[in-house]
């Protein structure tokens, strides 16, 4: 019984698993930030190129 309690205590003190979970959560947060940033930039670029395309269509060649 004492050996089991010692194993449980050692497991509770172990920090490697907690660190791995923290790194995983940090990586997920960074991925979400990148996706949101790319979406915002992509929308702005789409609008910019649509405006350029519209202006080019309206240009008359002399």
Mean pLDDT value across the chain: 86
Q: How far apart (Å, rounded) are the C-alpha atoms in residues 62 and 24? A: 61
Residue 1, both tokens = 């019984």
The domain ranges of the chain are 28-61
Per-residue confidence band for 49, with pLDDT thresholds at 50, 70 and 90: very high
Highest mean pLDDT among 10-14, 26-30, 43-47, 54-58: 26-30
Which pair of tokens denotes residue 55? 């202006």
Give the list of residues 6+ apart from residue 11 with CB closer than 8 angstroms, or none: none
The pTM (predicted TM-score) of the whole model is 0.54
């Amino acid at each position: 019984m004492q050996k089991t309690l010692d194993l449980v205590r050692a497991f509770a003190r172990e920090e490697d698993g907690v660190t791995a979970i923290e790194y995983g959560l940090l990586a997920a947060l960074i991925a979400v930030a990148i996706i949101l940033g790319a979406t915002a930039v992509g929308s702005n670029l789409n609008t910019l190129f649509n405006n350029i395309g519209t202006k080019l269509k309206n240009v008359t060649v002399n």
